[in-house]
Amino acid sequence: MSTAAAQAPSWWSMTVDRTRVELKEFLRSREQMIFIFFFPMMLLALFGAIFNTDDLYGTGVSFGQYFLAGMIASGILNTGFQSLAISISIDRSEDVLKRIHATPLPPTAYFTGKIIQVLIVSIVQVALLVAMGVFLFDVELPTDAGTWVTFTWVFVIGLAASTAWGIATSSLLRNGKAASALLTPIVLALQFTSGVFFVFTELPVWIQNIAQIFPLKWLAQGMRSVFLPESFEAAEATGSWQLPMVAIMLSVWLVAGLIISAKTFRWLRVEDR
C-alpha cells in the first residue's frame, strides 16, 4: 500500500469535517440564527398570546397549544426546505460549490454534512418550541411511547422530504441573493393554508382541498396528533388524525424530492456550464 493511499482520509472523516464546517457557518450567520430559532419563537409567543382561545370546539385545547404543533411543522419546513435551498443557492452563486466539486470530497460526504447540520438544527429548534409551549401554554407532553414513536417518524419523514425539496429547489434558483424573496411567499402561502396560523377546519373548503396536496398540511396534522389530546381528533376535518395518510403523503413528497434532486442538482452556475 502506498503512503498516499495510507494517509488518504476516510469517507467518514471527510463527512465529519464537512459537518463541522456546515455547523460553524450556520452559527456564524446571525440572519440564519434569527430566522431558524428566534423568529418562530417570537411568532409562537405573539400569536399564541394575541389569538389565544382557551377552548377550541369544546375540546379544552387552547389556540396556543394548537399553534405549537403548526409552528413545529413550519419550523421543520423552514429549516429543511427554505433555509437549505437558500444556502446552497448562495454557495453556487459564489462558486463555493464549484470549488468543493474540484476537491477530493465525495458528493455524498457533502450532502451528508448538510443533512446532519439540518437535523441538529431542527432538533434544537423543536426542543426550544416545545419548551415554550410547555411553559407558556401548558402543553402536556405525551407520556406513552407510542406517541413518541409517532413524533419520531413524522419528524424524520417530514424533515427528509423538506430537505430533499430544499436541495431540488436550490438548482431552480438562478440568483442566490434573490432566493429568499422567491421562496418566502411560497412558504407563507403554505403556512396560511395548512393549519399553521389558522385552525385548518376554519379555512374555506376549497383552500383545504388545495392544501391537502402539499406536505405542510400533513406534517402539521401529524404533529397535532402528538401534542394535542385525543379529544381534539374529532375536530379534525375528517374526524381523524389520518396518520396512515400522513405517512403516505410525506413519503410521496420525499421520493419525488429525491428524484428531482438527483436529476437537476448542479455544482456550477448556469453561465459556467
What is the grid cell recorded at 196? 399553521
What is the grid cell recorded at 100? 468543493
Predicted local confidence at residue 32, as pLDDT: 83
User: What stretches in the chain show pLDDT beneath 70?
Assistant: 1-6, 270-273
- Rg over alpha carbons for the chain, rounded to the nearest Å, is 20
Non-local (6+) Cβ contacts of 201 within 8 A are: 208, 235, 236, 237
| C-alpha dihedral, 127 to 131 to 137 to 138, nearest 10° | 110
Predicted local confidence at residue 272, as pLDDT: 62
Predicted local confidence at residue 58, as pLDDT: 78
Predicted local confidence at residue 273, as pLDDT: 60
Predicted local confidence at residue 1, as pLDDT: 46
Report the half-sphere exposure of 49 (CA within 13 A, side-chain side): 9
E strand segments, 61-109: none
Predicted local confidence at residue 94, as pLDDT: 87
User: In whole angstroms, what is the distance from residue 231 CA to residue 132 CA?
Assistant: 22
Predicted local confidence at residue 179, as pLDDT: 83
**Domain edges within the chain:** 10-52+59-266
Predicted local confidence at residue 6, as pLDDT: 52
Instruction: Tally the residues of the chain.
Output: 273
Predicted local confidence at residue 34, as pLDDT: 86
What is the grid cell recorded at 140? 402536556
